[in-house]
Structure 1
Amino acid sequence: MTYQGVLTKMETEFLEPIHYYLVFENDFINMNQLLNKSITLQFVKYQCLNCNLNKPIYRQGFCKSCFFDIPQAADWIMRPELSTAHLDKEDRDLEYEKKVQLQPHIVYLANSSNVKVGVTRKSQVPTRWIDQGAHEAIEIVEVPNRYLAGVTEVALKDHVSDKTNWRTMLKNDIVDENLVAWRDKLKAFIPEEAKDYFIENNTETNLNFPVVKYPTKPKSLNLLKSKTFTGVLSGIKGQYLIFEDDTVFNIRSNEGLVVDLTVN
């Protein structure tokens, strides 16, 4: 059975374990059902997630011209502290920016390879944690807009990491942390304008991923170079497919590639 479609971030369900779905235009693939099966991925062409043209992908699933033009790829996406919609100030498209920025946002701690601080829209909890491969997470602050979340994250970066080591995360070489204690320790460093939004009483969320076998030395698959790859799927964590031979494939970083997926 062969499916063809453009890669986009896998959809997820917060179940025990997490359920993953690869969504193509005409197919909806339950990836958990492919565990322990041999699958082949083959590169077909590019398809920009904005203009749909067969143009090389630059970043985030977009071709270069779209990346530097559309609001979905503006700097404030990756750096929330640059958000300006709360000031009624446009970056690329004020209507879009207000829709995304002027809604409740969460500053959180997640443990995927180490404890890190991050920002997400409230509506994206726990999806964001799943996508990062975090096995535990906790909300610290809930604020009414993206800007406040961004400046809080910047303040906390001086005291806790904001990066994930993807190899450590995929090897599951992780240590359980007391995130409630971390939350309380970091309270003192929350900026004045966000202090009233601190979440006093909550517990951490635990996440369990569908992995039969973790890689010992994960090596990343570059489908643009190899054009095709066949392997036995042994797990899914974050947005990575994990194969029996320690090859891993990041769906998120390959958005915009049209592939054939064959179940052998």
Structure 2
Amino acid sequence: MLFEGVLKKMPTELKEKVQYYLVFENDFLHLNQILDQKISLSFLKFQCLNCGKDKKIFRQGFCYDCFYEIPQAGDWIMKPELSTAHLDKEDRDLEYEKRVQLQPHIVYLANSSNVKVGVTRKTQVPTRWIDQGAHEALGILEVPNRYLAGIAEVALKDHVADKTNWRTMLKNEIEDVNLEETRNKLVEFLPEEVEPYILKNNKETEINFPVLSYPTKLKSLNLQKKLDYSGVLKGVKGQYLIFEDNTVFNIRSNEGLYVRLEIN
């Protein structure tokens, strides 16, 4: 079977095991069905996710020009506390920013390599947790806009991590943590303006990933340097493909690469 197209973040479904899909323009591949099979990947060209041109990808699947122009790559994406739509203040495109920022957001705790705090739109739960490779997660706040979520996250960063150790996550070197107890310890550090939005009775969500075996030593595949790669797919976790030879490939960080994928 042969597939060809631009890489984009994998859509997922939360079931007994997370279901993963690689979606191309005219076709899609259900990755859970090809575990333990050999696949080959080849880099063909770039294709910016915004302009569609064959221009070197800069960040987040966008070429340099698009990254610094389009609202989908504004600083408030990575730093929610910089959101200004609630003040009717434009960054790059106020209509877009109001649509995205002025909707319910969840501040959460997730455990993938360690307990971390994060922010996501309510509509992206549990997708965001799956993308981070979290085996357990818990929403601790539901606020009406992105700014409030951002200032809550900033306040908690002094007391809990805000990043995932991707190596630990992929090796599955994890410990179960009682996230409800962690939440109860952290709420005292929240800003006063978000206290009415605390989710006091939320329960943990448990997530199981389709992985047959975890790597012991990690080799990250750079498809722009190694233009062709073949390996046996042993699992998918977060947005990573995991291969039998300990190679891992991050689909998310390779968005905008146009590839050929063959199941051998």
State whether TM-score is above 0.5: yes
Task: Find the counterpart in structure 2 of residue 106 from structure 1.
Answer: 106
Letter matched to residue 200 of structure 1: K
Task: Find the counterpart in structure 2 of residue 199 from structure 1.
Answer: 199
Task: Find the counterpart in structure 1 of residue 136 from structure 2.
Answer: 136
Task: Find the counterpart in structure 2 of residue 156 from structure 1.
Answer: 156
Write the deviation string for residues 81-125 of structure 1: whole angstroms up to 9, x where unpaired. 000000000000000000000000000000000000000000000
Letter matched to residue 62 of structure 2: F
1:122-133 → structure 2 map (5 Å cutoff) = 122-133=122-133
Write the deviation string for residues 149-171 of structure 1: whole angstroms up to 9, x where unpaired. 00000000000000100000000
Write the deviation string for residues 163-213 of structure 1: whole angstroms up to 9, x where unpaired. 100000000000000000001000100101101101111110000000000
- CA shift at 1:17, angstroms? 0.2
Q: d(CA) in 1 for partners of 2:197 and 2:159? A: 19
Task: Find the counterpart in structure 2 of residue 170 from structure 1.
Answer: 170
- CA shift at 1:136, angstroms? 0.1
Q: d(CA) in 1 for partners of 2:166 and 2:202? A: 27
- CA shift at 1:28, angstroms? 1.1
Moved over 3 A (4+): none
Letter matched to residue 72 of structure 1: Q
- CA shift at 1:34, angstroms? 1.1
Letter matched to residue 24 of structure 2: F
Task: Find the counterpart in structure 2 of residue 146 from structure 1.
Answer: 146
The 3-state SS of whatever aligns with 2:225 is: helix
Q: d(CA) in 1 for partners of 2:34 and 2:185? A: 42
Q: d(CA) in 2 for partners of 1:31 and 1:16? A: 15
Q: d(CA) in 2 for partners of 1:183 and 1:170? A: 25
Task: Find the counterpart in structure 1 of residue 54 from structure 2.
Answer: 54
1:51-130 → structure 2 map (5 Å cutoff) = 51-130=51-130
Letter matched to residue 122 of structure 2: K
Task: Find the counterpart in structure 1 of residue 186 from structure 2.
Answer: 186
- CA shift at 1:240, angstroms? 0.1
Task: Find the counterpart in structure 2 of residue 208 from structure 1.
Answer: 208
Write the deviation string for residues 47-92 of structure 1: whole angstroms up to 9, x where unpaired. 0000000000000000000000000000000000000000000000
Task: Find the counterpart in structure 1 of residue 253 from structure 2.
Answer: 253
Gaps of 5+ in 2: none
- CA shift at 1:236, angstroms? 0.1
What's the TM-score once normalised by structure 1's chain length?
1.00
How high is the sequence identity, in percent, across the aligned residues? 72
Write the deviation string for residues 111-151 of structure 1: whole angstroms up to 9, x where unpaired. 00000000000000000000000000000100000000000
Q: d(CA) in 1 for partners of 2:104 and 2:28? A: 30
The 3-state SS of whatever aligns with 2:212 is: coil
Write the deviation string for residues 15-60 of structure 1: whole angstroms up to 9, x where unpaired. 1100000000011110111100000000000000000000000000
